[in-house]
Amino acid sequence: MSPAAETTAVLLSAAPDRSEAAARAEQRFVESFGYAPDGVWSAPGRVNIIGEHVDYQDGLCLPMAISHRCFAAAARTPTNRLRLRSAQDELVLDIDARELTPGAVTGWPAYVAGVLWALDPFISGAATRGMDIMIDGQVPLGAGLSSSAALECAAAEAIEALLSLGTTRLERVRAAITAETDFAGASTGGLDQSASVLSHEGHALFLDCRDLSTRPVPWDLASQQLALLITDTRAEHSHVDGEYAARRADSERAAAQLGVPTLRDADVDQLETLLGRLGDEVVRRRARHVLTEIRRVEQFDALLAAGTVREQVGELGALLNASHDSLREDYEVTVPQLDVAVDAARAAGAHGARMTGGGFGGSTIALVEADQAQAVAEAIAAAFGQHGFAAPEFFLALPSEGAGQDR
């Protein structure tokens, strides 16, 4: 073994078996609360395959649920106490569920309590709201894989079942979004919760950000010996919020100058003419990213309608690459770690690779042959070593089933 190979041994984290994980969550509930739960529910994290920085311009995106899930073992109690615990955090909550109001709960329990609060319109006034919930999650926290949506959506499934609310999946998506924005006080566009609840195994989710309408798109990696390698670069940028706001403002300026409500409304067939009408060079590049990215999602979708991932893998990979290059050159939301991970993946034989999520740190994805995932990860780790970056973390994901009951 060469010295380089020795130093770059990396661990690929595939999600633990779902039924074993659900059984463990149930066991943790028993150890924590001293009796058996009524059931176990779970919801997955997500990655966005393509369609980045277009949501606030009413664009299109294509997320998929990943194999890593958050589990909620739960039981209804004949009281009004909401008691929450997590295997990943020591903070516990014990509160009168009738007194939930934004600001009343802090830390991670706000994501769960917020869902109960957001579901209030569906709860009969006479019903007791007491419940015990044990959270056990596999989605890495804060890696851009949406552990927060997985947590909210697992909680929504549990609460729906315990209180027999009769909500639709879309109503639970909306409750999870409301919990995050209005109760936990974080901002989210709805992509994460839609993907976590509405995804199907072997499929990506085509999401129209204009009205949150969705449909499944065949994306069966497993049967075609393909895999998605996720690299958490662990890079963080200090001015993310300001940079986001600036990109949003640039794209709004472009829409205003073109006389359309959003860039989604512009006729992308006239791309060069449209861009020619934008005087400012920066605004022109921002618009070019949004307009071409929306078109790339349409092209990606059309390719998957016309053939299998295996048959289309070359062109799909090229679209992933073009998306990243556009985010790097025109939208300028990458950082060196993201670019190095993508370049190393491509050089090591990935069909395509791009940053995923908002940028300025976070994760990349690479579409790879399943039996080459390890080698691609090692190449990325080696490149990080050469650049003096902190070691990245790797996850293997398959398109997974959305939120549901496990036990």
Total site size for Mg ion, rule CB under 5 A:
2
Measured from the CB of residue 87, what is the shortest distance to ligand ADP in angstroms? 7
Measured from the CB of residue 177, what is the shortest distance to Mg ion in angstroms? 11
| DSSP designation for 78 | S
Is residue 148 a contact point for Mg ion (CB under 5 A)? yes
Measured from the CB of residue 147, what is the shortest distance to ligand ADP in angstroms? 3
- 372 contacts which partner out of ligand ADP, Mg ion, none, CB within 5 to 8 A by kind? none
Is-catalytic flag, 232?
no
Q: 377, 333, 379: which is closest to 355 by C-alpha?
A: 333
Which of 89, 208, 220, 339: binder of ligand ADP (CB under 6 A)?
89
Q: Is 318 exposed, middle or buried (0-12, 13-18, 19+ CB in 10 A)?
A: middle
Q: What part of residues 84-113 is at the interface with Mg ion (CB under 5 A)?
A: none
Pairing, β 60-76 against β 89-96: unpaired
Pairing, β 203-208 against β 81-86: unpaired
Is residue 70 a contact point for ligand ADP (CB under 6 A)? yes
Phi, psi of 248 (to 5 degrees): -60, -45
Is residue 251 a contact point for ligand ADP (CB under 6 A)? no
d(CA 147, CA 139): 5
Q: What percent of the chain is helix, strand and coil (3-state, nearest 5)?
A: 45, 25, 30
Q: What part of residues 151-170 is at the interface with ligand ADP (CB under 6 A)?
A: 151
Q: 58, 46, 3: which is closest to 255 by C-alpha?
A: 58
- Whether 108 contacts 89, CB under 8 Å: yes
Taken as a whole, the chain contains a residue count of 407
Total site size for ligand ADP, rule CB under 6 A:
18
Is residue 108 a contact point for ligand ADP (CB under 6 A)? yes
The residue behind tokens 């349409």 is 298
Closest chain position to ligand ADP (CB): 137
Measured from the CB of residue 186, what is the shortest distance to ligand ADP in angstroms? 6
Is residue 67 a contact point for Mg ion (CB under 5 A)? no
Closest chain position to Mg ion (CB): 148
Q: 23, 44, 24, 30: which is closest to 132 by C-alpha?
A: 30
Is residue 135 a contact point for ligand ADP (CB under 6 A)? yes
Site residues, Mg ion (CB under 5 A)? 146, 148
The catalytic site residues sit at 192
Site residues, ligand ADP (CB under 6 A)? 70, 86, 88-89, 108, 111, 135, 137, 141-148, 151, 186
